[in-house]
Amino acid sequence: MSAGFAAAYRSAVADRGRLCAGIDPHAALLEQWDLPVSVDGLRAFAGACVTGLGPVAAVIKPQVAFFEAFGSAGFAVLEETIAGCREAGALVLSDAKRGDIGTTMAAYTTAWLDDASPLCSDAVTVSPYLGFGALDPAVAQARATDRGVFVLARTSNPEGAALQRGVAQSIVDAAAAVNADGSGTAGVVVGATREHGLELSSLGGPILSPGLGAQGATAADLTAIFGDTADLAWLLPAASRSILRAGPDPAALAAAARATRDEIESALS
């Protein structure tokens, strides 16, 4: 049996610590960096992030929507960003939140998890709300190539609670079943901004936890929210804007990422 995504994840966090650094080039940040809200500005922003964050963060999460907003030219910049971060030694988790059925899901799988695609990443976020089984093409491809899928379970936004509260545990349980082979193929997304009410200790895969920094969660909140319900070795806190506000200097971005990582590691130790 192959080592699975678990081996890549464990190696990355052992070397670099538990931090997923987001690349979110939305218009306000481009303007804050004195960059034009254009493809040229997008490329400059992403390039600084690759230089500053690529050698530091265990996982880097480009938010696909902010690249997609610029059409095909934006996707070209995203391809460059993915390649640059991976070349710098980071795992790339593309935050695309894809979810569909049949051949459409298979096509999304090819786009994000197939070596032949210029968008190919180490992992991708996916939505299970057409049924967890609809994600089978992505799960199978990820398992075959030692990549991962991160399945939305209990997200950091308050609007998600009404829909997710009743089904999130079933999503976690389905992901745990995927991981029963030890591959760690199926991670879940569980926000750090509020109590989640989930039993995560048997997941056997990574827990992407957005909400650190700009959304209000702190490193100190992590043990309170996850300490009794999850194996903290699998916890992957995510921060984006709180790190990106240190730009545009790549060295300042690197310093902000290191500081955030050190706060996380201190809180989880």
Kindly tell me the burial class for residue 268, based on how many C-beta atoms sit within 10 Å of its own C-beta (0-12, 13-18, 19 or more). middle
Kindly tell me the burial class for residue 15, based on how many C-beta atoms sit within 10 Å of its own C-beta (0-12, 13-18, 19 or more). exposed
Neighbours of 27 (CB within 10 A): 13
* Dist CA 189 CA 261 (whole Å): 19
Per-residue burial over 195-210, b = 16 or more CB atoms within 10 Å of its CB, e = otherwise? ebebebeebbbbbbbb
List the catalytic residues: 97
* CA torsion angle 105 237 201 145 (round to 10): 40
Per-residue burial over 58-96, b = 16 or more CB atoms within 10 Å of its CB, e = otherwise? bbbbbbbebbeebeeebbbbbeebbebbbebebbbbbbb
Q: Would you put residue 200 in left (φ > 0), alpha (ψ -120 to 50) or beta?
A: alpha
Report CA 184 to chain centroid distance, whole Å: 15
